[in-house]
Amino acid sequence: MLDPGNRPDTVARGSLPVVDLAGSRALITGATGGIGIAIARRLHGAGATVLISGRKAEVLDGLAGALGERVEVLVADLADREQVAALPGRAGKVDVLVANAALPASGQIAAFEPDEIDRALDVNLRAPIMLARDLAPAMAERGYGHLVFVSSMSGKAASPGSALYSATKFGLRGFAQGLSEDLHSVGVGVSTVFPGFISDAGMFHDSGVKLPRYIATRTPDQVAKGVVKAIESGKLELDVAPFSLRAGTAVASLAPAALAAIQRRLGAHDISADIARGQADKR
C-alpha cells in the first residue's frame, strides 16, 4: 500500500482524492457519440490531453481536428475483447478514465439474440471493468488518478424494456462502489455519473421517441459538466437528471414495486416499446 502522505499532486476534498485535469491524460471511450464528444470537449477545455476512443475513425479524426493540440486518437471496438485488452497499452500513461461507451440494449429480453446479449454485456459492463483492472494499478502506484463510469438512471431504477440495459448499468454502479473502497487508501478516486434522458444527441435522442411533456431531459454538455464536477470534487456518485427522475430512483430504492405501479399508470410500457423499436438497429 502506498503512503497516503506521499502524494504531492493529490488534493483531498472530503473523503476522496481529487485530480487536477490541467496537464492530466484522460482516456474517453465512446467518444464518437454525442455525450462522448461533449465529455472530450469539456476535459480538453479543462486542460487535459484527451485520448479519444471509439469505433468510427472518421468521427474521431474530425473531433481531433476540431480540438487541435493535446488529442490522441485510439480507434477501438469494445465488443472485441482483444481490442479491449490492447487499449490500455496503446493509451500509455492515463490519469483519468471515462468509461462512457455503451449500447442501448433496450427491449424485451426474448427479442435479443444471444450474440446481442453478449455485445451489450461486453461493451456496457465487461469493457469498463477490464479497462479499470488494467489502468488502476499504475494510478495506485503513482497515488494519483480517477476512474469515471457513465451509468444511467436505469442503473438505479429499472423500467419496462430495460432488463438487459439495467442489468449492465446496475452492475456498473456496484462495481464502481466496490472499486472505490479498494482504491480509496491509495489515492485513486472513483465516480459514477447517472444521466437521465438526454436530448440533442446520444442513444435516446437517436431513437426518435418523443417523451411526454412532464418528463424533462438534459443535454450532452450537462453530462460532460457532471463528469468534470465528479472528477474535480471527488464525488462518488452524481446524477444528471431532473428532480422527477431523481425522486423516482429514490422511491425505487425503498419501494420498487410502488415505483413499478406508478410507471405502468404513466404509460411507461408504451414509451419503452417505442424506444426499443428506435434502437433495435444499434444492438
Q: What is the DSSP code string of 102-154? A: -----S-GGGS-HHHHHHHHIIIIIHHHHHHHHHHHHHHHHT-EEEEEE--GG
Residue closest to 109 by CA, chosen among 101, 99, 121: 121
CA dihedral 226, 228, 231, 233 (to 10 degrees): -70
- Told to judge if 144 belongs to the known catalytic residues of this protein, a careful annotator would answer no
Catalytic residue among 144, 149, 165, 194: 165
| Burial tier of 9 (Cβ tally within 10 Å: 0-12, 13-18, 19+) | middle
CA distance 273 to 74: 35
The bridge status of strand 49-54 relative to strand 11-13 is unpaired
Pairwise CA distance, residues 48 & 27, whole Å = 10
Find residue 148's DSSP bridge partners.
Answer: 98, 191
Query: Of 7, 45, 51, which Cα lies nearest the Cα of 145?
Result: 7
E-strand stretches of 22-102: 25-28, 49-54, 71-75, 96-99
Catalytic center residues: 165
